[in-house]
Structure 1
Amino acid sequence: MAPHGDGSDVAEEAIVADAERRPISTIVIIIAMQTEALPLVNKFQLLEDSESLFPKGVPWVRYHGFYKDLHINIIWPGKDPKLGVDSVGTIPASLVTYASIQALQPDLIINAGTAGGFKAKGACIGDVFLVSDAAFHDRRIPIPVFDLYGVGLRQALSTPNLLNELNLKVGKLSTGDSLDMSPQDEASITTNDATVKDMEGAAVAYVADLLKVPVIFLKAVTDIVDGEKPTAEEFMQNLAAVTAALDLAVTQVVDFISGKYLPEL
Structure 2
Amino acid sequence: MAPPHGDKSAEVKEEAAAAVSSVDNRPISTILFIVEALPLVKKFQLTEDLNSVFPKGVPWVRFYGNYKGLTVNIVCPGKDPALGVDGVGTVSASLVTYASVQALKPDLIINAGTAGGFGAKGASIGDVFISSEVAFHDRRIPIPVFDIYGVGSRKAFATPNLLKELNLKVGKLSTGDSLDMSPMDEASIIANDATIKDMEGAAVAYVADLLKVPAIFVKAVTDIVDGDKPTPEEFLENLVAVTAALDQTATQVVDYISGKCLVEL
TM-score tier by shorter-chain length is over 0.9
Are residues 174 and 9 of structure 1, via their aligned partners in 2, closer, same or farther at CA, if it must alter by over 3 Å?
farther
Q: Where do 5+ consecutive residues of structure 1 fail to align?
A: 1-7
Residue 52 of structure 1 corresponds to which residue in structure 2? 52
Residue 31 of structure 1 corresponds to which residue in structure 2? 35
- Partner amino acid for 2:231? T
CA contact (8 A) 2:25 2:263 kept: no
CA distance in 1, matches of 2:166, 2:143: 42
Residue 4 of structure 1 corresponds to which residue in structure 2? none
- Partner amino acid for 2:94? S
Could you say what the CA RMSD is over the residues aligned between the two structures, in angstroms?
Answer: 1.2
Residue 154 of structure 1 corresponds to which residue in structure 2? 154
Residue deviations 1:10-51 (CA, integer Å, cap 9, x gap):
78645532321210000000002x3xx2x2100000000010
Equivalent position SS for 1:144: coil
CA distance in 2, matches of 1:193, 1:137: 11
Q: Which stretches of structure 1, 4 residues or longer, exceed 3 Å deviation after superposition? A: 8-15
Residue 26 of structure 2 corresponds to which residue in structure 1? 22
Are residues 76 and 132 of structure 1, via their aligned partners in 2, closer, same or farther at CA, if it must alter by over 3 Å?
same
Equivalent position SS for 1:222: strand
Residue 186 of structure 1 corresponds to which residue in structure 2? 186
Residue 87 of structure 2 corresponds to which residue in structure 1? 87
CA distance in 2, matches of 1:12, 1:218: 30
CA distance in 1, matches of 2:183, 2:61: 35
Equivalent position SS for 1:115: strand
Residue deviations 1:60-97 (CA, integer Å, cap 9, x gap):
00000000110000001100001111100000000010
Equivalent position SS for 2:116: strand
CA distance in 1, matches of 2:140, 2:91: 17
CA distance in 2, matches of 1:77, 1:190: 29
Matches within 5 A, 1:105-254: 105-254=105-254
- Partner amino acid for 1:160? P
CA distance in 2, matches of 1:198, 1:145: 24
TM-score (norm 2): 0.94
Equivalent position SS for 1:53: coil
CA distance in 1, matches of 2:90, 2:17: 29
Give 1 or 2 for the bigger CA radius of gyration: 2
Are residues 13 and 89 of structure 1, via their aligned partners in 2, closer, same or farther at CA, if it must alter by over 3 Å?
farther
CA distance in 2, matches of 1:13, 1:197: 35
CA contact (8 A) 1:21 1:261 kept: yes
CA contact (8 A) 1:126 1:220 kept: yes
Residue deviations 1:212-237 (CA, integer Å, cap 9, x gap):
00001000000000000000000000
CA distance in 1, matches of 2:14, 2:102: 20
Are residues 9 and 196 of structure 1, via their aligned partners in 2, closer, same or farther at CA, if it must alter by over 3 Å?
farther
**Identity, % of aligned positions:** 74
